[in-house]
């Protein structure tokens, strides 16, 4: 399928941005993804600057590449990937850059089913398992999100609940930042959580 200029024109509103992601994921799920080979006129256009319409904070997991999952082209998504899609100083700095300089209207915290980082955090929180030092520091970012989960639940259910709780906690923390408060008040900026389903390839946006 040929890409038109319209496909590369940035969405004008946050609703259009979200609709663009949803439509891209639907193409991906249906096996109709375009995975565009970028033409040289597009590359030339992109040398003038970037105007991504969404910032995605996702997991480093090799099975969840945001550009492919949303069937998005070059210059469309500003992507941060870190195990467990957690926050931390460098991540916050990157998000602040996206907010203040790129002014992407849409921010998505994208967790995924079967997340190894969340699984390790659950094992640490409920079974007292230990990881190497720097991994422990990473898990400390996830563990507080697990409060209130039922450790007696079947493992798959517990992991699924942990993944969603981790996404929701990161969203809540980001909503508390002064930048988010200011941008939510003054413009059509939106921050949403989402969970990618490994089996179906589908992204479920959370309320
Ligand atoms: Zn993961």
The CA 42 to ligand 1 mean position distance, Å, reads 32
The CA 21 to ligand 1 mean position distance, Å, reads 20
Q: What is the pLDDT of residues 158-197, one digit of tens each?
A: 999 999 999 999 999 999 998 888 887 777 789 999 999 9
CATH code at 16?
3.40.1050.10
Say which DSSP state 85 is in: G
Kindly report the three-state secondary structure assignment for every residue of 112-179. Answer: ECCCHHHHHHHHHHHHCCCCCHHHHHHHHCCHHHHCCCCCCCCHHHHHHHHHHHHHHHHHHHHHCCHH
The encoded tokens of residue 207 equal: 């309320």
Determine the average pLDDT of the residues in 66-90.
96
Percent of the chain with pLDDT over 90: 80
Q: Is the pLDDT of residue 14 over 90?
A: yes
Number of domains in the chain: 1
The CA 89 to ligand 1 mean position distance, Å, reads 19
pLDDT of residue 9: 74
Binned at pLDDT 50, 70 and 90, residue 4 comes out as low
Please say whether the beta carbons of 87 and 170 come within 8 A: yes
Higher pLDDT, 5 or 95: 95
Give the global pTM. Answer: 0.93
Average model confidence (pLDDT) for the chain?
A: 92
Q: Is the pLDDT of residue 70 over 90?
A: yes
The boundaries of the domain holding residue 200 are 5-205
pLDDT of residue 1: 42
The CA 124 to ligand 1 mean position distance, Å, reads 16
The CA 111 to ligand 1 mean position distance, Å, reads 7
pLDDT of residue 8: 61
Binned at pLDDT 50, 70 and 90, residue 7 comes out as low
The CA 23 to ligand 1 mean position distance, Å, reads 23
Higher pLDDT, 3 or 204: 204
Do strands 77-81 and 54-58 pair parallel, antiparallel, or not at all (unpaired)?
Answer: parallel
The CA 77 to ligand 1 mean position distance, Å, reads 19
The CA 140 to ligand 1 mean position distance, Å, reads 15
CA dist 30 → 34, 61, 66, 113 (Å): 11, 22, 16, 19
Residues with CB under 5 A from ligand 1 (ion): 59, 61, 115
């Amino acid at each position: 399928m040929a890409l038109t200029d319209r496909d590369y024109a940035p969405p004008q509103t946050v609703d259009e941005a979200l609709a663009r992601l949803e439509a891209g994921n639907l193409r991906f799920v249906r096996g109709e993804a375009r995975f565009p080979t970028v033409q040289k006129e597009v590359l030339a256009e992109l040398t003038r600057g970037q105007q991504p319409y969404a910032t995605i904070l996702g997991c480093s997991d090799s099975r969840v590449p945001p550009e492919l999952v949303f069937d998005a082209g070059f210059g469309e998504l500003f992507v941060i990937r870190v195990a467990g899609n957690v926050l931390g100083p460098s991540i916050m700095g990157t998000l602040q850059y996206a907010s203040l300089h790129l002014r992407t209207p849409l921010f998505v915290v994208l967790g995924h089913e079967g997340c190894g980082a969340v699984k390790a955090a659950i094992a640490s929180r409920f079974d007292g398992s230990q990881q190497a030092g720097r991994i422990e520091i990473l898990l400390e970012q996830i563990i507080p999100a697990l409060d209130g989960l039922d450790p007696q639940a079947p493992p798959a259910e517990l992991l699924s609940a942990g993944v969603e709780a981790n996404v929701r906690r990161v969203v809540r923390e980001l909503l508390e930042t002064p930048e988010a408060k200011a941008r939510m008040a003054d413009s059509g900026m939106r921050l949403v959580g989402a969970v990618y389903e490994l089996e179906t390839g589908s992204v479920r946006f959370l309320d």
